[in-house]
Amino acid sequence: MIVPMKKITVLSTEAQKENTLKALRDLGVMHIISLKTPSGASLNLAKDEMNTAQKALDALPAKAKKESVVTGSSKALFQELKSLLAQKKELEEENAAIKSDLNRFSIYGDLDPQQIKSLENQGIFISLYEAEKSQKPSFEGEAVLHYFGKDSYGEKYAVINRGESAVQVNATKLSLPSQALSTLRTRLSSQEELLSKIESRLTQIASAKSLLKEELLNKVDDFNFEEVSAGTFSDSGISMVQGFCPVPRLHELEALAPKLGLGLKVEDPSEEEQVPTLLEYNKLSSPMKFLYDIIGISPGYNEMDVSLVFLAFFSIFFAMIVGDAAYGLLFLALTLFAQAKLPKAPKAAFHFMILMSVSTFIWGFFNNSFFGFSPEVLDITQKSFVPGFLKSFANWIRVDTSVQYLCFILGVSHLTIAHLWNFVIKLKRKSTTAIAQIGWLFSTWFMFFLASNMVLDKEIPAFATPLFIVGLVLVVLFMVPPRDIKKEWISFPMLIFDVVNNFVDIISYIRLFAVGMAGVAIAEAFNGMLSPLFGSVVGIAVSVLALFFVHALNIALSIMGVAVHALRLNTLEFSSHLDLQWSGTEFKPFAKENTNA
């Protein structure tokens, strides 16, 4: 259910602005919108501190020293962490430069730039050069060319001459290192030792990651506060804050206003305003929270909550695409194991996976599919104690054409719900376009009969064509309100494409059969290829190992199929017939991220 909202305007004096925002933050019931673009030095500083804290936390080693005991406040610990990371970065950059010099000049022996400068005072000039491999440089002038050898950079030479006359050499002249190579080696060793100590301390600090996360949340809270403060409107000593509050919690805001002497205006949001969406889940629809969070969608405030329908059809689509009872049991076992190991993890994720696992198992059970095998001993659906209708259903869905027909039945059922729902919504709004939804409903059923005829050679009922004609007339007459015909006239010539799309939408549900059959075919093919190896211990071992990887790959491909096709049928085909745009923005109340502070 989409929780109803009220638009809230809060007025306070400029002097009370900070206390008002802190009180609103502590209350945590108001989604605040910016009345102007947030900017300012305080906001920039808070943002920089938040980003720095996040980078510092991300730079911590993944493994911490378990025996470490770190004391001190989270703030002091964070300051030490930033200092250590800055020192580490500086040392790493210096060491990289030293290593570069050592690699480039080590072929010259214990090179010391001070000795070369001393010789210059005596009139002897030494220059170092690097030439391409196998190319001896030539030079002009009186000098001695000495070859030192080659390395990964090229051929190394030294040119020695007397006097200050320049010597022209067709090679790259090298700048001398900053210090003697022996000094650089000593310095590198010392700094590597210091780096090791810093790394050791960082692994100790990593054991207090929870404390550091608290400090990061403090920085996030500071930034959020500055952002809200910078987005408020102030004029003539009055500060105004605006946003939205869920109706069930409005009384909390109304109780706060007189305590702080605030002006409070409560009104219904207009249809043009971007109202945030807050979804309230019951026990049946709670798994949908996990799926919505994963795919990052939400219905708009003025749209409808389709959570239960979405979840019901998604679980069927999931089961048909994965299609193997053993996979379902494997998913269920992993989910229950994870739930036991992660008791603090969101419950919605586990509820969602349990539903998907059970649905997959049921579908695979009726299909008698276990890791691509069809063992008779597990085919309980054919036992005498099984009710006849279940036995008949199991036999029916094991025929390819039956599954294809089931896909079309699911499609027309799915889209029928969309059009009936849309009809009710438009009827409540007293819109004449509600009648057009009945027309589209008739058209959808005709497309179902047409698709069944074209793909499965099923006879089109005699009433289907008149039904389609009536539906088309209703759509033409009521698809656009009379007052909007002039500005929406383009809808009429585009109608032919909408009708074709209606047929395509029904056909698209066949993807459930196609993707599901692909997974079954892969499993059966590899099972057949590897079954001859079952005659020996070595063969069994090789086969088991190979089948493990094959089925792991098949599961991964199935999950990808679910992500693409099961989601598409809900968020595209179903949603387009329901006129659902998924235009919602999540309700995010102004509240502290660090609830322990």
Average pLDDT over the chain reads 88
What single letter denotes the amino acid at residue 43? L
Band of residue 594 on the pLDDT scale cut at 50, 70, 90 = confident
Flag whether pLDDT at 542 surpasses 80.
Answer: no
φ/ψ of residue 272, rounded to 5: -80, -20
Residue 363 lies in a domain: yes
Band of residue 296 on the pLDDT scale cut at 50, 70, 90 = confident
Give pLDDT, residue 530: 72
Give percent of the chain above pLDDT 70: 95
Q: Which helix (H) or strand (E) holds 26?
A: helix 17-27
Query: Any idea of the CA torsion for 496, 497, 498, 501, to the nearest 10 degrees?
Result: 130
Rounded distance, CA 206 to CA 61, Å? Answer: 6
The arithmetic mean of pLDDT across residues 586-597, rounded, is 87
The arithmetic mean of pLDDT across residues 252-272, rounded, is 92
Query: Are 574 and 452 part of one and the same domain?
Result: yes
**Token pair 């009055």: residue:** 238
Band of residue 562 on the pLDDT scale cut at 50, 70, 90 = very high
DSSP line for 561-572: HIIIIIHHIIII
CA angle 56, 61, 64 (to 5 degrees): 120
- Eight-class DSSP state of 46: H
Rounded distance, CA 303 to CA 587, Å? Answer: 15
Q: What is the DSSP pairing of strand 144-151 with strand 31-33?
A: unpaired
Q: Which of 113-122, 291-300, 446-455, 533-542 has the lowest mean pLDDT?
A: 533-542
Residue 164 lies in a domain: yes
**Token pair of 437, please?**
């939804």
Task: Report how many domains make up the chain.
Answer: 2
Query: Are 172 and 295 part of one and the same domain?
Result: no
Length of the chain: 597
Q: Which of 17-26, 130-139, 542-551 has the lowest mean pLDDT?
A: 130-139
Band of residue 38 on the pLDDT scale cut at 50, 70, 90 = very high
**Token pair of 31, please?**
């989604």
Rounded distance, CA 123 to CA 113, Å? Answer: 15
The arithmetic mean of pLDDT across residues 415-433, rounded, is 93
Residue 86 lies in a domain: no
Residue 353 lies in a domain: yes
List all residues 6 or more positions away from 132 whose beta carbon is below 8 Å from its beta carbon. Answer: 154, 155
Q: Is 462 exposed, middle or buried (0-12, 13-18, 19+ CB in 10 A)?
A: exposed
Query: Are 167 and 292 part of one and the same domain?
Result: no
Flag whether pLDDT at 228 surpasses 80.
Answer: yes
pLDDT in tens, 434-462: 999 999 999 999 999 999 999 999 999 99
Band of residue 176 on the pLDDT scale cut at 50, 70, 90 = confident
Query: Are 324 and 454 part of one and the same domain?
Result: yes
Q: Do the Cβ atoms of 490 and 339 come closer than 8 Å? A: no
Flag whether pLDDT at 166 surpasses 70.
Answer: no
Query: Are 295 and 146 part of one and the same domain?
Result: no
Looking at mean pLDDT, say which of 169-183, 288-302, 303-317, 546-560 comes out highest: 303-317
The arithmetic mean of pLDDT across residues 360-380, rounded, is 88
3-state helix/strand/coil string of 206-255: HHHHHHHHHHHHHHHHHHHHHHHHHCCEEECCEEEEEEEEEHHHHHHHHH
Give pLDDT, residue 158: 85
pLDDT in tens, 506-536: 999 999 999 998 888 888 888 777 766 666 6
Flag whether pLDDT at 331 surpasses 60.
Answer: yes
Residue 565 lies in a domain: yes
| CA 351 to each of CA 36, 284, 315, 335, 570: distance values in angstroms, whole numbers, following the listed order | 42, 10, 12, 9, 20
Residue 271 lies in a domain: no
Handedness of CA 567, 573, 578, 582 (dihedral sign): positive
Closest listed residue to residue 171, CA positions, set 154, 193, 196: 154
Rounded distance, CA 407 to CA 410, Å? Answer: 5
Beta bridge partners of 32: 243
Flag whether pLDDT at 130 surpasses 70.
Answer: yes
Band of residue 165 on the pLDDT scale cut at 50, 70, 90 = low
pTM: 0.79
Q: What is the DSSP pairing of strand 31-33 with strand 124-131?
A: unpaired
What single letter denotes the amino acid at residue 255? A
Q: Which of 22-31, 152-161, 528-537 has the lowest mean pLDDT?
A: 528-537
Give pLDDT, residue 419: 96
* Alpha carbon 545 to its chain's center: 32
Residue 230 lies in a domain: no
Give pLDDT, residue 66: 65
Beta bridge partners of 11: 240, 263
| CA 516 to each of CA 411, 470, 585: distance values in angstroms, whole numbers, following the listed order | 16, 36, 34
Secondary structure of residue 37 in the 3-state scheme: coil
What single letter denotes the amino acid at residue 352? F
Give pLDDT, residue 153: 80
Rounded distance, CA 597 to CA 590, Å? Answer: 15
Closest listed residue to residue 266, CA positions, set 551, 30, 552: 30
Residue 70 lies in a domain: no
Give pLDDT, residue 69: 64
Give pLDDT, residue 28: 93
Could you tell me the residue range of the domain that residue 490 belongs to?
287-578
Handedness of CA 387, 392, 397, 399 (dihedral sign): positive
Which of residues 122, 152, 176 is at a domain's end?
176
List all residues 6 or more positions away from 39 whose beta carbon is below 8 Å from its beta carbon. Answer: 230
Rounded distance, CA 187 to CA 183, Å? Answer: 6
Rounded distance, CA 476 to CA 508, Å? Answer: 25
Q: What is the DSSP pairing of strand 124-131 with strand 154-162?
A: antiparallel
Give pLDDT, residue 311: 94
